[in-house]
Amino acid sequence: MVQTSASFQQGEQDQDGSISLSEIISALSYALDLTEGAVHGHALRSCLLGMRIAEEAKLPSDQTSSLYFALLLKDIGCSSNASRMCEIIGGDDRAVKAGVKFEDWTKVGRPTVSSLKLLWKNVLPHSGTAARIGRILHLGANQHKNNEEMIALRCDRGASIISKLGMGQLAAGAVRSLDEHWDGSGYPDSVKGEQIPLLARICSIAQHLDVFSAGRGTRQAIETLQDRSGTWFDPSLVRIAMSLDRRGALWTHCLPGDCEEDTRQAVLDLDGDRRRKLDPGQIDQICEAFADVVDAKSHFTFRHSVGVADAAFGIANNLGLSPDRVQLVRRAALLHDVGKLGVSNTVLDKKSALNSAEWEAVYEHPTMTRRILERVGPFREMAVIAGEHHEKLDGSGYPNHLIEPDLSLESRIIAVADVYGALSEDRPYRAGINLDQTISIMKKLVPKQLDAECFEAMVTLATGRRDVAYVPELKLSDADLMYAFESAI
């Protein structure tokens, strides 16, 4: 077991705002739960379950840290296949991802009643019966190919991010081989037995236990684990998990009804290296990695978070903010859309106008961003700024309809950078708008909705011109203006 550190009170932080790797990763793991439609806190509970199995298995101490972060970050590649999943099924990627975890998808061509019900509910839900049946039959015929593609996307992407974060090959290998099965029926490489990395075998069991206990109760989690021993799972590790269950040593702080703060505290207590704080560059690297996770969810938002961060960084510098405030703005911009991981790609990739229910899902994402980021003590101001990126000076923004006195300069900077980035980028329903037209559209929103000083700094950054009076005025109807502005979601 990783050495237990001293007690940590939730929200406590050093005077200098420093933070440990486990504190930031355990908080941001909630964002990864969103991508899979998992029950809130899935990554944390999986971490506790996996680490208990590892302790009982006497995992070598030089591997425990790798396992710890592999368990917390096992789903970090999941956003990369969301758009493709949505395209394949023609429905809600998150709902299918959540439901398919209860199915034995290795039995190609032998669908269960429950898997057929899952497909019927989610495949082309707004189409006619014939189209839905045709798509389900097509999915059945291409099941192996689709499984291989979906899992390879998430596993390869996840392992790549883990490596870039400097967490080592053991952790990266565990994430890449998460969906391999003991009998060789898994993906992406169909390896079997002890050829599967030990850490991946532990992660796979921990994931199974939490998914089933959250969805169907601990008894079915254990029974299904036993049923799949020797096929999906390493029999020796299954025996360990069952022994822990019989002794009442498996599920503490690992049930969905348990206090989330207690669960996270238990996870943090497993990190004996938590007294070692990250330097600013390491924090930036983690923010950049999660920005990539967000942007990977839809090819229409490829590099959106990074682009907004670059624009916000430039605006903040042009306005003469101090280096620490510029850094705060950049980090908030990188993570401003992390709540969008909870929005289905049926909404994000939709080519026609959104309906009221779909807009409600969109309106929720800044609130979710704030809730995730404020779990990190030193990120609490950043959480407020990032959560206000769709607010407007006249109260017409969302989610809280704040007005000018309520909004900090940092929040105004990111609002301008976000609109600039979104208008410039391709969207499912329109091509990206050229620079002159983007500036013209935005100028019509100044100073009523967007801050004039921030807008001028953005124009300077984008064009090198110091005087926005020389920006060409393009003739846009009110309908065109509203369409362009609302599309900047």
Q: pLDDT (tens digit, 9 = 90+) per residue, 136-162?
A: 888 888 888 888 888 888 899 999 999
| Of 217 and 96, more confident | 217
Q: What is the pLDDT of residue 78?
A: 86
Note the helical H segments in 37-167: 42-56, 61-72, 82-89, 93-100, 113-122, 129-141, 143-164
Q: pLDDT (tens digit, 9 = 90+) per residue, 313-338?
A: 999 999 999 999 999 999 999 999 99
Q: Can you tell me the mean pLDDT for 218-236?
A: 97
**Can you tell me the distance from the alpha carbon of 134 to that of 371, in angstroms, rounded to the nearest whole number?**
41
Structural domains present in the chain? 1-277 (1.10.3210.10), 280-486 (1.10.3210.10)
The answer for residues whose C-beta is within 8 angstroms of residue 292's C-beta and 6 or more apart is: 161, 305, 306
Cβ contact 468:391 at 8 Å: no
Q: Return the amino acid letter for 176.
A: R
Structure tokens given for 435: 């620079």
Structure tokens given for 58: 């006497």
Q: Can you tell me the mean pLDDT for 462-489?
A: 51
**Can you tell me the distance from the alpha carbon of 347 to that of 458, in angstroms, rounded to the nearest whole number?**
29
Cis-peptide, bond into residue 188, ω within 30° of zero = yes
Grade residue 88 by pLDDT with cuts at 50, 70 and 90.
Answer: confident
Strand partners, 430: 427
Does 121 participate in catalysis according to the annotation? no
3-state SS assignment for residue 484: helix
Cβ contact 363:489 at 8 Å: no
**Can you tell me the distance from the alpha carbon of 66 to that of 466, in angstroms, rounded to the nearest whole number?**
51
Q: What is the pLDDT of residue 431?
A: 67
Question: DSSP of 14-27, one letter per residue?
Answer: -TT---BHHHHHHH
Q: What is the pLDDT of residue 273?
A: 79
Would the pLDDT of 12 be above 80?
no
| Of 199 and 62, more confident | 199
**Can you tell me the distance from the alpha carbon of 394 to that of 387, in angstroms, rounded to the nearest whole number?**
17
Q: What is the pLDDT of residue 14?
A: 42
Q: pLDDT (tens digit, 9 = 90+) per residue, 422-441?
A: 888 766 556 667 888 888 88
**Can you tell me the distance from the alpha carbon of 450 to that of 396, in angstroms, rounded to the nearest whole number?**
11
The answer for residues whose C-beta is within 8 angstroms of residue 356's C-beta and 6 or more apart is: none
Q: How far is CA 395 from CA 125, 256, 353, in A?
A: 36, 37, 23
Q: pLDDT (tens digit, 9 = 90+) per residue, 158-202?
A: 999 999 898 999 999 999 999 999 999 999 999 999 999 999 999
Structure tokens given for 178: 């998460």
The Cβ of residue 249 has, within 10 Å, a number of other Cβ atoms equal to: 12
Q: What is the pLDDT of residue 477?
A: 47
On average, the pLDDT of the chain sits at 86
**Can you tell me the distance from the alpha carbon of 250 to that of 222, in angstroms, rounded to the nearest whole number?**
11
Cβ contact 151:187 at 8 Å: yes
**Can you tell me the distance from the alpha carbon of 30 to that of 178, in angstroms, rounded to the nearest whole number?**
19
Strand partners, 443: none
Share above pLDDT 70 across residues of the chain, in percent, rounded to a whole number: 88
Q: pLDDT (tens digit, 9 = 90+) per residue, 229-273?
A: 999 999 999 999 999 999 999 999 999 789 989 999 999 999 977
Would the pLDDT of 353 be above 60?
yes
* Catalytic residue (one of 74, 97, 297, 340): 340
